[in-house]
Structure 1
């Protein structure tokens, strides 16, 4: 798995604890509304709400440890969450100032200040990742009978405790270096004036994913390097009189955050909502509205930022850069407002009467401009690069694996989780399986030895064919549920190999002979889905298609960019990389249009979807758009199969096309009814 792919896994796992943050934002927002002056000090009810919300915000690090451990675990078991919590307690206790003082035999006053900041998001995420990896690796281990009580899931917290001792030992020497480097960096950019304020703001946002922004904030906000921006600003007239504050200067490390938190991020939330898939928009609206309200009213931005920082890192870098620009502009123009909590509406109103606030009202038109910028930039970037922001992703592993679904090949309802276990057994068990992926109708599996794959069992499970590409690569044709089965396989625990004697070492799925009577009734006539040259199916450079294991049909070498529906029906599936789609016609035929060979490896580049899953389309209606120049230069082959995957439900098909085809016009082939 690539680094980006791993970060996206972390990002999806982070959505577990992030889902608690809107609750914190609402609770604290209500409290600040009740008592905007005393911040809970003058009203018991306000204090009740504020403290309730703070209980969540102040413990984000441990929530991250638990949530990441749970979210990245292979079976989403509560034991993984417990492991994350145990790991966090051990690590933060060993790296606390008191423990470091005792372990290193030095006075607690001499312990580096960095250890007072050890309870942060970075440590929480680190612990969560390590705990999840340990859980995934050791939760199935069986110990000797005398120790059997500690086998499996019970073993993992014990192992995690010992591993965290080693991690704590490393952090005792590494953490002060990391923390000290950030302080030195802050002292350097302090000398750069307004430009330095913008640079600080850029790195402030950039460090949030690992929780290290607190170290940087302490330099500019809390007198680590002589700046003390927040206390001096809140001191107002007293700070001016004492010579600790300068009008137009004090607050420049805070002011430019108001346009971003109150306006920019809500603009991003609107773009994310509008880019979500139609079926997900209602769910995304709730998340984005809560996050936008939290950012605007209280300045709590985590619900929005964590919703895209890992699944679409490029957006987060853009967000950090725009924050830096905003803070630079406000500092340069001396548009100053400060905050005691964060840069939301409450703090803006409270700071407006502070004598250090200068032209603070100009931050509002600046914010309106940034709302437009964020909306346009985020929407363009999401759609241009097909980023998987909330609501655009397909179902992830575990979301559907526990339900019932239809096996398209066999037409029977089967438990997908159980089906996944049986397919693992068919390929030689977990010990033989080294990688799991899926294309539109087939499982793409990496194995240690393809010779042990049980073809007979796979076919009894509903597979229409097994293709051995080489000694370590196998493809099993299972129909439109391939992705769901693959996702379920990824979250299935250890499975033993099947005990059947039917395992074969010879390639399966030979081409089915075509002997169809032309005088049989024609059930359906398909038109060419793309303009180009007709290619016989057995000439497709892919064994699964050429052998007709996926289904019967023809192929086309495209000459035009637009791919249309070959018949009227419903688009039941568009692969997340947009290189293929499945169409169920009104007559029940299941048509697979697969543009190119191994184009799934291009990760969506060169393809753009024009309709969404579930859409009803007419014959000839555009479904995909291709960048043919890019695809011809980068794809293994652009020969594109168009097959009927459930052709066994009919008598067969008769090819009608020859030579050059025109999309949406040239008859491609007829599907014949049963005799």
Structure 2
């Protein structure tokens, strides 16, 4: 089950990668017309509307992205199936449709059906579409139905399955929606503390790949919070000084705290291993600062020093609490890095974006001091301190962009071509299915200059490559 949930989280990276486009369009539009939000400039209005075309359709993006991501061969047919499922479910369970079923006015229909077009349903539709594709793409029908054999029958089967799922959701969705709303309201009712709890859980769930489910509740319109959408649109429901509280606290951590923690890890590394540690930590810090992608850095110590990662999760929660208490709100479309910070300056719900500098510097000091103290006090095996860290002349560094050598090293470390049964990738990781776990050589894989190796089960190996993962994956696929 955990493996399946991780795969869903991985597939969400495809639609999430579209969001920076919305961020750029929104950012430029608000810079042009910071007060009218398009009312005073046709150019600004054009850009803002273009951005909203992406943000407002996040559920559909999720349906298509998850369906493609979870299909065994990532065929476009699965995308069509995911879209069919989403359209079927949202149409059958729309407020107007439910009012017709019940023979009542739209005002009497439970509020849950007014929110049926949301990220959760998008993900569910993607799962339905990909499952139907994987199961029925090779179906052979009798000659008189041969036209609908294979991939052509996938959308038809998906439609039938979606009708059945819609019937189940007719009874189940109001219960799920009520639970999500109750959880969201409980967190909202806790104010700054609630934001801190959310931020801490966000980091704590990353090793399991389940943080996306939590984000769907707070960032999108699954339970009526929609922190991300309201921050950039300023639509009804947005509150100046409140909207953005579930995003702001990540900026001091990703742009200042984690890089400072990386510096602490570098300073506490063994002298003979500082050079190797520096290449890994510096690359991870740059990714965290500029783009807000933290996985290369977090996975560098997450499993080597889980206690230190717990400290990081708690500090992220503290950052969210502090930022919520201050007159300070900024937001992102992708992640809390430099690019999104600059773009959010003129966003409708932005409040004192400049405050990131002093707050971030304070958290940089806190991270450095605490990380260094904890590492030395408990002799944690962070990069450059582990006993099995070996420096060899044939180590490959991703910074050299030698993807062929890196891919070859990873394949050999996974036990060779014959030991790999399936391979895929997400935002930062190569995910491989293997036949014999005893043939995996983690030390060999690490010589490829990767951030880390994770083994969730005896048949699964995840190689944390970083932001250049697609290029390494492409080379591996060629070699296989």
The interval holding the TM-score normalised by the smaller chain is 0.5 to 0.7
- Give the structure 1 partner of residue 161 of structure 2: 163
Candidates 343, 355, 360, aligned match of 1:367: 360
CA RMSD for the aligned pairs?
A: 5.5
CA contact (8 A) 2:39 2:45 kept: yes
CA contact (8 A) 1:140 1:153 kept: yes
Go from structure 1 to structure 2 and tell me whether the alpha carbon gap of 1:381 and 1:109 turns closer, same or farther (over 3 Å shift): farther
- Supply the distance in 2 between the matched residues of 1:322 and 1:256 (Cα, whole angstroms): 15
- Supply the distance in 2 between the matched residues of 1:258 and 1:11 (Cα, whole angstroms): 23
Question: How much does 1:140 deviate?
Answer: 0.6
- Give the structure 2 partner of residue 481 of structure 1: 417
- Give the structure 1 partner of residue 475 of structure 2: none
Write the deviation string for residues 166-208 of structure 1: whole angstroms up to 9, x where unpaired: 1112222222222222333444455545434533555788797
- Supply the distance in 2 between the matched residues of 1:327 and 1:336 (Cα, whole angstroms): 13
Candidates 28, 33, 38, aligned match of 2:36: 38
CA contact (8 A) 2:413 2:443 kept: no
- Give the structure 2 partner of residue 24 of structure 1: 22
Question: How much does 1:328 deviate?
Answer: 2.0
**More strand as a share of residues:** 1
Query: 1:335-346 residue pairs with structure 2 within 5 A?
Result: 335-338=326-329, 344-345=341-342
CA contact (8 A) 2:71 2:130 kept: yes
Q: Please, which runs of 5 or more residues in structure 1 have no aligned partner? A: 223-227, 235-250, 296-303, 386-390, 393-398, 407-437, 443-479, 491-574, 580-596, 616-623, 625-634, 636-675
Query: 1:290-369 residue pairs with structure 2 within 5 A?
Result: 304=293, 322-331=315-324, 334-338=325-329, 344-345=341-342, 363-369=356-362
Go from structure 1 to structure 2 and tell me whether the alpha carbon gap of 1:373 and 1:119 turns closer, same or farther (over 3 Å shift): farther
Alignment size in residue pairs: 380
Secondary structure of 1:41's match?
coil
Go from structure 1 to structure 2 and tell me whether the alpha carbon gap of 1:53 and 1:201 turns closer, same or farther (over 3 Å shift): same
Question: How much does 1:326 deviate?
Answer: 2.0
- Supply the distance in 2 between the matched residues of 1:101 and 1:218 (Cα, whole angstroms): 21
- Give the structure 1 partner of residue 172 of structure 2: 174
Question: How much does 1:32 deviate?
Answer: 2.3
Go from structure 1 to structure 2 and tell me whether the alpha carbon gap of 1:179 and 1:148 turns closer, same or farther (over 3 Å shift): same
Go from structure 1 to structure 2 and tell me whether the alpha carbon gap of 1:14 and 1:341 turns closer, same or farther (over 3 Å shift): closer
Write the deviation string for residues 201-257 of structure 1: whole angstroms up to 9, x where unpaired: 5578879723232468746989xxxxx9996853xxxxxxxxxxxxxxxx3674574
- Give the structure 2 partner of residue 559 of structure 1: none
Q: Please, which runs of 5 or more residues in structure 2 have no aligned partner? A: 229-233, 267-275, 387-396, 425-429, 453-457, 459-480
**More helix as a share of residues:** 2
Question: How much does 1:25 deviate?
Answer: 2.2
CA contact (8 A) 1:135 1:153 kept: yes
Candidates 77, 90, 93, aligned match of 1:95: 93
TM-score of the pair, normalised by structure 1: 0.45
Go from structure 1 to structure 2 and tell me whether the alpha carbon gap of 1:43 and 1:218 turns closer, same or farther (over 3 Å shift): same
- Supply the distance in 1 between the matched residues of 2:168 and 2:255 (Cα, whole angstroms): 37
Write the deviation string for residues 494-518 of structure 1: whole angstroms up to 9, x where unpaired: xxxxxxxxxxxxxxxxxxxxxxxxx
Q: Determine if the alignment matches structure 1 residue 9 to structure 2 residue 7.
A: yes
Question: How much does 1:348 deviate?
Answer: 5.6
Go from structure 1 to structure 2 and tell me whether the alpha carbon gap of 1:12 and 1:350 turns closer, same or farther (over 3 Å shift): closer
- Supply the distance in 2 between the matched residues of 1:352 and 1:86 (Cα, whole angstroms): 35
CA contact (8 A) 2:249 2:322 kept: no
Query: 1:380-395 residue pairs with structure 2 within 5 A?
Result: none
- Give the structure 2 partner of residue 109 of structure 1: 107
- Give the structure 2 partner of residue 426 of structure 1: none
Secondary structure of 1:487's match?
strand
Go from structure 1 to structure 2 and tell me whether the alpha carbon gap of 1:22 and 1:293 turns closer, same or farther (over 3 Å shift): farther
CA contact (8 A) 1:257 1:323 kept: no
Q: Determine if the alignment matches structure 1 residue 258 to structure 2 residue 280.
A: no
Q: Determine if the alignment matches structure 1 residue 212 to structure 2 residue 210.
A: no
Write the deviation string for residues 421-456 of structure 1: whole angstroms up to 9, x where unpaired: xxxxxxxxxxxxxxxxx99697xxxxxxxxxxxxxx
Segment drifting more, 178-187 vs 65-74: 178-187
Query: 1:467-506 residue pairs with structure 2 within 5 A?
Result: 480-483=416-419, 486-487=421-422
Question: How much does 1:136 deviate?
Answer: 0.9
- Supply the distance in 2 between the matched residues of 1:131 and 1:611 (Cα, whole angstroms): 36
Go from structure 1 to structure 2 and tell me whether the alpha carbon gap of 1:62 and 1:107 turns closer, same or farther (over 3 Å shift): same
Question: How much does 1:156 deviate?
Answer: 0.8
Question: How much does 1:96 deviate?
Answer: 1.6
- Give the structure 2 partner of residue 119 of structure 1: 117
Secondary structure of 1:116's match?
helix
TM-score of the pair, normalised by structure 2: 0.61
Write the deviation string for residues 617-660 of structure 1: whole angstroms up to 9, x where unpaired: xxxxxxx9xxxxxxxxxx9xxxxxxxxxxxxxxxxxxxxxxxxx
